[in-house]
Structure 1
Amino acid sequence: MTPSTTPETGPNPVPPHAADGAEAAAETSPPEARDAPPRAGLVARLTASVADPVLRILVLATLVGRVGRGVFLTVTVLYFTLIVGLPAYEVAIVLAAASGVGVVASLAGGWLADRTSARRLLLLFTALEGVGLVGYAFAGDFVSALVVGMAVGGFGQAANATRMAIIARAFDGEARVHARAVLRTVTNLAIAAGGGIGAIALALGTGEAYRALLVFAGLAYLAGLVVLARLPRTVDAPGHPAAEPVLTATGSTDALATRRATRRALRAHSPWRDPRYLLLTLCSAIFGMQFGVGELAVPLWIAQDTAAPEVLVAAVLILNTIVVVCFQVPLSRGTHDLRRAGRVSAVAAWLMAAACLIYAAAAGLPSWFAIAVIVTAALAHAFAEVLSQAGGWGLSFELADPVRAGTYQGVFSMGYSVGAMAAPLVVASTTEALGVGGWGILATVFLASGLGTWAIARRAARTEAAPVSR
């Protein structure tokens, strides 16, 4: 892992008492040993990776709060269907509505993070999301479930956009991508733990167990507020770029004209006037549908179209989590560089296209062969996910205007919300409707969007490297 550095401590501070021992060891060690660079232990590397105080706060809050997210993801659908008694189509409406609200909320969260305290916004949105999760326990019909679902989806996406704005301001260059990778790794670990806790409700199968765990999920979010409250004020937005004061003929300031000029200056930094960033968001949104493929298309394909046992669905999810936890941080290293971000995005495109074709090849094979093929596809899929996230984070930070970091990150987060909302429809019209041919269509779509991201990064790197003519 790449350590986060601070001016006070550097990348790997050494305690004074350890320095004396190190000097003595250097005097008695052979020359080749003295020339070799020292290697930090595993604990030291893990500690150094969260040495930055802002990152440490975000990591601790994520560890606490995302356990609740894991519980929520495990029990919600079954709670609606088995306990509340909603038919499948009404559950689908609730989930789609939550995603739809999340699209707008992502924009709102990023926009507000440029205009008010991002710390307070994150605390507010996280608190409201936690209260919403508790509210699920009291949803007894379709209307109440819809209202609570939209609230949870909206406040959750607004909190995510605000968190991205905080990361964009609190870190620079590689440290930003590193922070995002560490947080994603921690998120996966916490969600996995929450999934294990959620299994308690599945095992007991009673309404009381489901409701108790939904309340626990909300309280976990609220507990994370204690840690988030320690975020420093430096993560808040700086003052807006103001235009020069407009003077009247008498030399006094025209306040109305000055405000209008300031608004024009702000609009000049808008992501909506940045076609390159909008195209990056579109490509990332399309590629982001790979999450829907893993959550919906793959389980249905395994259960309905292959001879592999259904328990393989759980094994594939566990395999994905292991790959993310082990490789997200190291494979994200260096993706603050535009060229590297483009290269990893291209590799992700080819891996995801290959994964789709390999998934398709599992149909009609003997059980043991189908298992091997699906596991191979799942590995390619998992590494495509890790690399696409790393490249997308680097580009979303480096190509954004730092003056409007929150608004830019809100637009980028909106893209993922749109992709998540569209994924079920895309899966239904491809793999579910067309079978093997549908997987071929998905392979083409992912390859085109991933290579589109690569092309954007490559052109941006060339523009950045071009000499300025005088």
Structure 2
Amino acid sequence: MKLGELTPASSVERTLLRAQLVNWSGNGIWLSTWAIFSVKVLGFSAVEVGLAATIGGVIGVFSTTLIGSLADTVGERVVLCLLLGTQAAAVALYPIIPNFPCLITVTAIALVAENGAIAVRSALIARSVPAPDRVRVQAKLRAVANIGLALGSGAGGLVLYVDDTAIYITAILVNAAMFPIAAGITFKLRPTMSTGPVAEGRVLKDRSYLTITALCAVLALNYQFLAFGLPLWITEHTKAPAWAVGLLYALNTLSVVTLQVRVSRAVKNTEAAARLARISGWILALCCIPFALAGTASPGLALMLLLIGGAVHVAGELLYAVASWGLALGLAPAARQGQYQGMFTSGQALAQATAPAVMALLIIDQGAVGWAVFAALFALSGSVITPAARAALARRETAVLSPDLPRTS
């Protein structure tokens, strides 16, 4: 990747990227420490922490569409800043959580605000960035998020090494402070893209968009391969060394940071996004083959197969990311971006919430058969998504998506 690929092309991009770096640096600290902090310092069991996260995640899934609708009415910038402030307050309360019901409540508030912020940020991009540049900006934001995550995780690793209650609490409060800083940066944005006349109807009545959301949710299951499925598969079902997990993480992070922006250039319009979604589905299906074969291979061969699978997987992931942004923005009415991005984010969040259970059931319990099922799901979803997107485009006689991504024949 050339250094210039992450250089902001405008003041709007500069503002978005700065806020993203601050936000995800804090997230890196949080993600690497909060579970251990909740168990070792607050005294909750691992089951209680997991249950609180699951309940909060489910509530977050079903709240994003409402939050997106609010953003359409009140304004994306204001709602996003309020959500960041809500996250700050929730995180700051963690050190004084007294009991399990409060843990569920605070976690739910934090996750509702987090999922809502993802949706509203996408809508804000639609209002602040010219149509041809939106997928590229999303790609830059993802690359910067990975940089921030790496920085924050490094700091979190030091916190875990020191393993002191005061240091844990300090880290939690530092993360809480990142949200208002990010909100202050974000508030400088002044959305300039016109939404046009207010569109009639609601996203729940838009069957074509709901279909795309569901198909993308299936493809989004791949994001949990590295977070959940592969670590357990490698350590419990292959002879590869446990540190192979770290290699795959490094390969994935480096690829996202260096290649995501470059890959985004392939999305010229919504039809191109649909074609890339199909290709990503096939590639994600293909990566399941070496992962499955690693389960019966010798240590050295298993490591080689895992690295091959990891390279194929990240290629599919990069393509899916840009395709999903192109479809989510390109098929949404300009005046209802908040509501539509809320629905799309709900699908993505639901996939992330259910993926661990699905992977445990299929991959960990069923082995190669489970990998085959995942391959079939990815290939089928990818194959169906292109005609589904074309059908959605054909129904929009007035080219609803033209303010977002141009359509070409």
Q: TM-score, normalised by structure 1?
A: 0.80
What's the counterpart of residue 362 of structure 1?
Answer: 294
C-alpha separation between the residues in 1 aligned to 2:95 and 2:384?
A: 43
Asked if the contact 2:42–2:95 (Cα under 8 Å) also holds between the matched residues in 1, the reply is no
Given that 1:269 and 1:404 are in contact with CA atoms closer than 8 Å, whether structure 2 keeps it comes out as no
In the TM superposition, residue 138 of structure 1 has moved relative to its aligned partner by 2.3
The verdict on how the C-alpha distance between 1:312 and 1:452 changes in structure 2, with shifts beyond 3 A counting, is same
Could you tell me which of 207, 212, 217 is aligned with 2:165? 207
- Aligned partner of 1:125 among 79, 83, 95: 83
Q: Does 1:139 align with 2:125?
A: no
| Equivalent residue for 2:131, pick from 151, 155, 173 | 173
Q: Which amino acid aligns with 1:71?
A: I
Q: Which residue of 2 aligns with 1:409?
A: 341
Q: In structure 1, how many angstroms separate the alpha carbons of the residues matched to 2:247 and 2:211?
A: 35
Give the number of the structure whose alpha-carbon radius of gyration is greater: 1
Q: What is the DSSP-based 3-state SS (H/G/I as helix, E as strand, rest coil) of the residue aligned with 1:335?
A: coil
1:389-404 alignment to 2 at 5 Å? 389-404=321-336
CA distance in structure 1 between the aligned counterparts of 2:319 and 2:3, rounded to whole angstroms? 25
Kept after mapping to 2: 8 A contact 1:355/1:378: yes
Q: Given residue 145 of structure 1, which amino acid in structure 2 is its aligned partner?
A: L
Distance 2:220 2:249 in 1: 17
Residues 55-70 of structure 1 correspond to what in structure 2 (within 5 A)? 55-70=13-28
Is the aligned partner of 1:151 residue 2:109?
yes
Determine helix, strand or coil for the equivalent of 2:296: coil
Shift of 1:88: 2.6
Q: Residues 127-163 of structure 1: CA distance to partner in whole angstroms, max 9, x if unpaired?
A: 1102212222223442232122111101111111111
Q: How far apart are the structure 2 equivalents of 1:371 and 1:308?
A: 5
The 1-side partners of 2:72 and 2:397 are apart by: 29
2:403 corresponds in structure 1 to none
Q: Which of 229, 232, 247 lines up with 1:315 in the alignment?
A: 247
2:127·2:191 contact (CA, 8 Å) conserved in 1?
A: no
SS, match of residue 192 in structure 2: helix
Distance 1:227 1:466 in 2: 36
Question: Are 1:99 and 1:153, in contact at CA under 8 Å, matched by a contact in 2?
Answer: yes
CA drift at 1:431: 1.0
| 1:106 partner letter | T
SS state at 1:362 partner: helix
For residue 317 of structure 2, the aligned residue among 385, 390, 414 is 385
Distance 1:75 1:466 in 2: 50
1:308 aligned counterpart, secondary structure: coil
Q: Please state whether the residue corresponding to 2:233 is helix, strand or coil.
A: helix
Q: Deviations over 1:324-355 (max 9, x none)?
A: 11111111114142332122112211111111
Contact 1:107–1:411 (CA under 8 A) maintained in structure 2: yes
SS of the equivalent of 1:145 reads helix
Q: What amino acid does structure 1 have at the position aligned with 2:342?
A: G
Are the structure 2 counterparts of residues 297 and 233 from structure 1 closer, same or farther at C-alpha, using a change threshold of 3 Å? Answer: closer
**Number of residue equivalences:** 399
> Is residue 198 from structure 1 mapped to residue 156 from structure 2 by the alignment?
yes
Q: What pairs up with 1:70-85 in 2 under 5 angstroms? A: 70-85=28-43
Give the SS at the match of 2:34: helix
SS of residue paired to 2:149? helix
Q: CA, structure 1 residues 459+59, in 2 after alignment: closer, same or farther (shift >3 Å)?
A: same
Q: For residue 146 of structure 1, give the secondary structure of its aligned residue in structure 2.
A: helix
2:406 aligns to what? none
**Any conservation in 1 of the 2:209–2:392 contact (CA below 8 Å)?**
no
Aligned to 1:277: 209
Summarize the alignment of residues 39-118 of structure 1 with structure 2, pairs less than 5 Å apart.
Answer: 42=2, 46-47=6-7, 50-118=8-76
Which AA in structure 2 matches 1:338?
A: T
Paired residue type of 1:362 = A
2:135 and 2:267 in contact (8 A); partners too: yes
Shift of 1:208: 2.2
Cα–Cα, structure 1 residues 239 and 355, in superposed 2: closer, same or farther, change >3 Å?
A: closer
* Maintained 8 Å contact 2:208/2:389: no
Give the counterpart letter for 2:62 in structure 1. Answer: V
Structure 1 pair 353/44, CA: closer, same or farther in 2 (3 Å)? closer
1:326 pairs, out of 258, 267, 271, with 258
- The answer (yes or no) to whether the contact 2:5–2:261 under 8 Å persists in 1 is no
Deviation at 1:288, TM superposition (A): 1.0
Q: Distance in 1 between matches of 2:128 and 2:277?
A: 25
User: Is the Cα–Cα contact under 8 Å of residues 338 and 460 in structure 1 kept in the other structure?
Assistant: no
2:284 is matched with: 352
Could you tell me whether the CA contact under 8 Å between 1:173 and 1:398 is conserved in 2? no
Cα distance in 2 for partners of 1:224, 1:371 equals 40
Is the Cα contact below 8 Å between 2:72 and 2:339 reproduced in 1? yes
- CA distance in structure 2 between the partners assigned to 1:232 and 1:462 by the alignment: 33
Higher relative contact order (CA 8 A, sep 6+): 2
Q: How does 1:419-438 map to 2 (within 5 A)?
A: 419-438=351-370
Instruction: After superposition, give the CA deviation of every residue in 1:71-108 in whole Å (9 maximum; x if it has no partner).
Output: 11111222223333322321221111121121123112
The amino acid across from 2:381 in the alignment is S
TM-score relative to the length of structure 2: 0.92
RMSD: 2.2
Deviation for aligned residue 1:465: 10
CA contact (8 A) 1:66 1:221 kept: no
Distance in 1 separating the partners of 2:263 and 2:82: 33
Q: Deviations over 1:272-311 (max 9, x none)?
A: 2221111000001111111222211100001111111112
Give the aligned partner of residue 373 of structure 1.
Answer: 305
**Displacement of 1:229:** 2.0
Instruction: Specify whether residues 364 and 315 from structure 1 end up closer, same or farther in structure 2 by C-alpha distance, changes over 3 A only.
Output: same
Mind listing any 5+ residue stretches in structure 1 that lack a counterpart?
2-41, 242-265
- Quick one: which amino acid aligns to residue 398 of structure 1? G
Paired residues of 1:105 and 1:155 also in contact (CA < 8 A): no
Alpha-carbon distance, 1:170 to partner: 1.8
Q: Partner residue of 2:181? A: 223
Contact in 1 for aligned 2:195/2:334 (Cα 8 Å):
no
Is the contact made by 1:112 and 1:406 (CA closer than 8 Å) also made in structure 2?
yes
